[in-house]
Amino acid sequence: MSVVQNIFKLKSENKFTTEDLVKFKDGGRPKPKMAIKQTSSKVNRYFRDSMYNLSEWICGCEVRNAFFCFPCLLFGNEDPVWCKIGVTDLKHLKIKVHKHSLSSAHMSSCCNLATLGKVDIKLQLDSAYRKTVKTYNENVFKNRYILNKIIDCVLFCGIFVLEESESSDNPGTFQGLINFISELDVIFKEHLENSTVFKGAWNVIQNELLDSMLVVIHEEIKSEINQTDFIALQVDEITDGSNKTQLIFIFRYILNGVLSERFWKFVKPRGTSSQHLTEVILKELECLKINECPQKLVAQSYDRAAVKSGIFGGVQTKIKKYYPSANFIHCYAHRLNLILQKVASQDRGVRIFFANLHSFSLFFEKSPRRIAVLDEVVKTVPVCWNFDTECVETVYTYQTELVECLGQIIRSETRNDTISQAVSLKKCLGSEDFLYWLNFFRLVLPHCDVLSSQLQKRDLDIVTVNKCIINFNTNIEKIRNKILNNYVDKPPREHEKSKTGVSKRRISLEICDMIMAEVKQRFGFNSHLIVLQLFHADRFKDYKKAFPQDIYKLVKTEYPAVSYVKLKTELEVLYGTEDFYNSEGALAMLRMFFNNNLSVTFSESVKLLQILCTLPMPTAESERCFSTLRRSVAFLRNTMGQGRLSDLAVLSIEKLFIRNIKDFNEKVIDHFASQKDRMIDLLYKSF
């Protein structure tokens, strides 16, 4: 039954209620396709959808095949043509519409329809009502001002992950911040002194505001993800203060040529098996509605654990069943750590060296008295032991001073265990094995640190990674050549053997070879990554002479979403334009396209670059999350639930993103007010 027929039926049965009127109004005027046809000797006229544009009130009935007036159908009966019979005269339709719009009955029906469901016009015009609404809105403005200040306090505490506690003689940071603002803001102070709202329940208010903030932030992230074409997922895990596994979720994507990485949340899985982890990941992807467009997820990145990276039953394999385009990319800085761990474990002498090296830092860091003796002997800059590179450099630079310092400790110390440790460390500084490896790793480790820091950059792309690795291998090759030329300080004579019976010099050469081989293997590009060589700017001149057909063919198999034919044309233009020859990396080239309004012209190149730049490699974002997690748990271990942990982490990690959200506080207040009936008015009324 058509809408018009339904109205006629309700009217004939005297069952037309106000609720029915509101329902029909909310549904809007019906505009169905109708089989109206007028024929004459000169012209044939047919119904067209554009006829509904003659007026905002004209509607139709597909049963009667006639036009009606929607307001008059609901409220009027004076004009039977537009209320009961219907208009089918297409030739004079425009004239009839104009004539009907001038009738007083029609105007009255339009007025009734416009005010249906709203406050009566009399009340709207009543000065007392308007005054009441004005007073109410002024109160809402004041309440929102107060809540704005409280939100700023929550944001401050969240960004710095500061502790809050119950009211006491020594209040927590949140309560102390509230008290401090009240001393500076008269309106805020008056509210705290006179109002019963937002007093005595700071923990409840803070938690509810945190929840509202997280909702607003997640909505913004969802909005960005909906606007982008491709995303990558990074998941890593850490053990919190209660020895529970926490998963970190980070989404990486390109939006308008700008690379973004957004921390999503911490999640506590039910278990650590591949099945449990897969369930958690799929659930979060469904929350973002990625499952509605599976090809949008182009990469997944985890650590190297077999439970995640396994090619048969690992998480990456299970996820790829649902998201076929989600290629597995292992975090590049994690790969470097694995290489160094493998190298350090190959020889017993090297393992002993690092054990002794770490003993220096442990010996001094655990005793302020020993540090004082060391500082007195060194008398220059503070000694650093934080990382292997710093530890190696410190021991190498201050060998003489350390021997003197350890001698003083041996002579002045009374505790036997301390004397024993000092004697052992002093003996190390006289050991040929220890000094050889100290000199060797002093050459190697700085290059590892440089590469590691390069791989931690947020805007890293595969072209840049390739260049960094080539430079790294070149430097290691130089060290190897220096060893061959007896460059390493105090090289052992060939007959001096390590305990394994193999010369230290030969082992150091093997370590260099192993590092270069492992780097080549672990950082070797898979077929879907080789495609990025199409955008190596330093090869454009060669590509202009001979198009890289072999690499280009991979696009068709690895990236079916890219138009294969148009991409080739774009690349040929790219290779022939010298303006692109100085581009530094894929991300820089992508920005060049957007900044010069070339994203449409080179649409397929942009699409391919967006996919390739979305691939996750750096781990700096995850490490920042780890740091926030540790600080959050340390401050709020006893009172913080899982949800609150994510709330605070998001505020701390994404503080710059939050700062750029337009009207963030207002959106938080709107969500806060909508969750339940509040004891305070927070939503405006209209006149």
State pLDDT tens for residues 196-225.
Answer: 676 655 677 778 888 899 999 999 999 999
Average pLDDT over residues 432-454: 86
Distances, alpha carbon 178 to alpha carbons 152, 157, 244, 316, 667, in Å: 10, 11, 33, 47, 21
pLDDT for res 597: 85
More confident position, 475 or 310: 475
Confidence band for 192, pLDDT divided at 50, 70 and 90: confident
Residues 6+ apart with CB under 8 A from 6: none
Q: What's the token pair of residue 651?
A: 């505020």
314, 307 Cβ separation under 8 angstroms: yes
Confidence band for 383, pLDDT divided at 50, 70 and 90: low
DSSP code at position 524 = P
> Nearest Cα to 537, choosing from 498, 495, 588?
588
Average pLDDT over residues 135-142: 88
Rounded CA-CA distance 616/523 in Å is 13
Calculate the average pLDDT of the chain.
80
Does pLDDT of 498 surpass 70?
Answer: no
pLDDT for res 637: 45
Does pLDDT of 1 surpass 70?
Answer: yes
Give CA 237 to chain center in angstroms.
16
Residues 6+ apart with CB under 8 A from 270: 276, 279, 280
**What digits encode the pLDDT tens for the residues 311-329?**
556 788 889 889 988 888 7
Confidence band for 664, pLDDT divided at 50, 70 and 90: very high
> Nearest Cα to 370, choosing from 314, 412, 424?
412
Rounded CA-CA distance 287/218 in Å is 10
462, 327 Cβ separation under 8 angstroms: no
Q: What is the pTM of this model?
A: 0.60
More confident position, 484 or 673: 673
More confident position, 191 or 513: 513
Average pLDDT over residues 48-75: 92
Does pLDDT of 595 surpass 80?
Answer: yes
Rounded CA-CA distance 418/424 in Å is 10
322, 284 Cβ separation under 8 angstroms: no
> Nearest Cα to 455, choosing from 333, 549, 308?
333
Average pLDDT over residues 159-182: 62
Rounded CA-CA distance 101/87 in Å is 14
Rounded CA-CA distance 536/548 in Å is 11
Rounded CA-CA distance 46/44 in Å is 7
Residues 6+ apart with CB under 8 A from 20: 10
**What digits encode the pLDDT tens for the residues 66-103?**
999 999 999 887 788 999 899 999 988 999 999 999 88
Does pLDDT of 398 surpass 80?
Answer: yes
DSSP alpha helix (H) spans, 429-526: 432-455, 462-484, 504-522
DSSP code at position 493 = P
Determine how β-strand 245-255 pairs with β-strand 327-328: unpaired
pLDDT for res 338: 67
Rounded CA-CA distance 558/555 in Å is 5
Which runs of E-coded beta strand occur in 431-530? none
Distances, alpha carbon 149 to alpha carbons 76, 138, 165, 210, 374, in Å: 53, 17, 19, 14, 50
Average pLDDT over residues 254-261: 85
**What digits encode the pLDDT tens for the residues 324-370?**
888 887 666 666 666 776 777 778 888 888 888 888 888 887 678 88
Ramachandran region of residue 185, left (φ > 0), alpha (ψ -120 to 50) or beta? beta
pLDDT for res 502: 55
Q: Is 248 helix (H, G, I), strand (E, B) or coil?
A: strand
Q: How many residues does the chain have?
A: 687
Q: What's the token pair of residue 391?
A: 């530890």
Rounded CA-CA distance 269/606 in Å is 37
Strand-pair partners of 301: 234
Rounded CA-CA distance 329/252 in Å is 13
Does pLDDT of 235 surpass 90?
Answer: no
DSSP secondary structure string, 154-188? HHHHHHHT-----SSSS--HHHHHHHHHHHH-HHH
Rounded CA-CA distance 435/426 in Å is 12
Does pLDDT of 638 surpass 50?
Answer: no
In the sheet that holds 327-328, the strands lie side by side as 258-267, 245-255, 231-239, 297-301, 327-328
pLDDT for res 32: 92
Q: Which of 330-334, 512-516, 553-557, 614-618 has the lowest mean pLDDT?
A: 330-334
Rounded CA-CA distance 359/365 in Å is 10
